[in-house]
């Protein structure tokens, strides 16, 4: 597979505006994300997972190194890279349909074409009948379905997802994992047909179940500790409780266990 994103010796240092204190979030990340793959990112708390995602999204710029998307330097956000967050980030004053149509309308898409796109996506994510509801009238799982539809409305080549399922209960999380895989093309779509997904999670089992590769970061400053290939057949939903998934989950957990414990100890001081 060809690369859609290339991170060349990327480091990121945050400097406090208050006292000038420096925090090195990422150090020397040298990595290529393949077109059409499902990449998950795991690591100890504070290791720079979200920072890495924000650099690819264009919300932030590296202190050193370069981030390329489709061969061009990333200088800011764009509709070709859809972003989905843990906290939904829906517009509370807009209905479900209003949230989903926001991107296409802002880009100047023909209104009728935008409305048809909204209808299709709302159907795809299972929210038909809730088009005129507001976010506060929805359950957590429904809000995440709405956020997913809003991200998909721009038909992005890349989905950047920062712990999007962390705020929902376990049953809803399992259902949304399966829905996410279905929408991505887990049931047999080719790499050329699938979008590229970068999915940050604290859930090791989730990372393994979803991914083609798991990128494991070490504790701050985040460096690539290992990349684990998940050579399991697709579709994945039926493999959730298999020994193969359990073995890979244990392998990834072994890579981060000690550093995760150290990170928790440091946070509690």
Give one DSSP letter per residue of 20-42, joined into a string: --EEEEEEEEEEEEETT-EEEEE
Per-residue tokens: 188: 């047999």
- Same domain membership, residue 258 and residue 180: yes
Domain count, the chain: 2
pLDDT at 16: 82
pLDDT at 268: 57
- Same domain membership, residue 201 and residue 98: no
- Three-state SS for 57? helix
Which residue in the block uniquely carries the two structure tokens 């940050």?
Answer: 200
Per the CB < 8 A criterion, the answer to whether 147 and 88 are in contact is yes
pTM of this prediction? 0.92
pLDDT at 191: 82
Per-residue tokens: 79: 């509709």
- Same domain membership, residue 255 and residue 122: no
Domain end marker among 155, 174, 202: 155
* Chain-centre distance for alpha carbon 95: 24
Domain that holds residue 52: 36-64+75-80+158-267
Q: At what angle do helices 170-184 and 140-152 cross, to 10 degrees?
A: 20
Task: Measure the N-to-C terminal CA separation of the chain; round to a whole number of Å.
Answer: 45
- Three-state SS for 183? helix
Per-residue tokens: 97: 């349909």
pLDDT at 107: 84
Per the CB < 8 A criterion, the answer to whether 222 and 65 are in contact is no
pLDDT at 20: 82
Classify residue 3: in a domain, yes or no.
no
How far apart, in whole angstroms, are the C-alpha atoms of residue 209 and residue 190? 19
- Write the DSSP assignment of 235-261 as a string of letters: --GGGTTSHHHHHHHHHHHHHHHHHHH
Q: What is the CATH classification number for the domain harbouring 198?
A: 3.40.50.300
CB-CB neighbours of 249 under 10 Å: 18
Four-CA torsion 84, 85, 90, 91, nearest 10 degrees: -100
Q: Identify the sign of the CA torsion 219, 222, 225, 229.
A: positive
Predicted confidence pLDDT, tens digits, the chain (269 residues): 799 999 999 999 999 888 888 999 999 999 999 999 999 999 999 899 999 999 999 999 999 999 999 999 999 999 899 999 887 789 999 999 999 999 888 888 888 888 898 999 999 888 999 999 999 999 988 998 899 999 999 889 999 999 988 888 889 889 889 999 999 999 888 888 899 999 999 999 999 999 999 999 999 899 999 999 999 999 999 999 999 999 999 999 999 988 877 766 666 55
Per-residue tokens: 109: 């898409």
- Same domain membership, residue 192 and residue 261: yes
- Same domain membership, residue 176 and residue 51: yes
Classify residue 235: in a domain, yes or no.
yes
Running DSSP on this structure, what letter comes out for residue 5?
E
How far apart, in whole angstroms, are the C-alpha atoms of residue 230 and residue 210? 9
pLDDT at 269: 58
- Same domain membership, residue 166 and residue 107: no
How far apart, in whole angstroms, are the C-alpha atoms of residue 102 and residue 81? 15
- Same domain membership, residue 245 and residue 164: yes
pLDDT at 263: 65
- What phi and psi values does residue 66 have, to the nearest 5 degrees? -145, 145
């Amino acid at each position: 597979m060809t690369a859609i994103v290339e991170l060349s010796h990327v480091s990121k240092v945050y400097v406090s505006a208050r006292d000038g204190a420096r925090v090195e979030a990422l150090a020397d990340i040298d990595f290529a994300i393949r077109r059409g793959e499902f990449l998950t990112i795991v690591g100890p708390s504070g290791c720079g997972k979200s920072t890495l995602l924000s650099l690819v999204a264009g919300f932030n710029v590296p202190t050193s190194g370069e981030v390329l998307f489709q061969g061009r330097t990333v200088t800011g956000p764009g509709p070709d890279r859809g972003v989905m967050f843990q906290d939904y980030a829906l517009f509370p004053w807009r209905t479900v349909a209003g949230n989903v149509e926001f991107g296409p309308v802002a880009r100047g898409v023909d209104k009728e074409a935008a409305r048809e796109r909204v209808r299709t996506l709302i159907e795809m994510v299972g929210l038909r009948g809730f088009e005129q509801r507001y976010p506060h009238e929805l359950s957590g799982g429904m809000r995440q379905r709405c956020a997913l539809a809003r991200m998909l409305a721009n038909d992005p080549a890349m989905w950047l997802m920062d712990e999007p399922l962390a705020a929902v209960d376990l049953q809803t999380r399992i259902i949304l994992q399966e829905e996410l895989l279905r929408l991505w093309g887990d049931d047999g779509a080719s790499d050329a047909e699938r979008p590229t997904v970068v999915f940050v999670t604290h859930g090791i089992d989730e990372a393994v179940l979803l991914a083609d590769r798991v990128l494991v970061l070490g504790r701050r400053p985040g460096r690539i500790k290992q990349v684990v290939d998940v050579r399991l057949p697709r579709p994945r939903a039926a493999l959730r409780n298999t020994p193969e998934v359990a073995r890979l989950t244990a392998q990834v957990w072994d890579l981060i266990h000690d550093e995760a414990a150290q990170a928790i100890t440091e946070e509690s001081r």
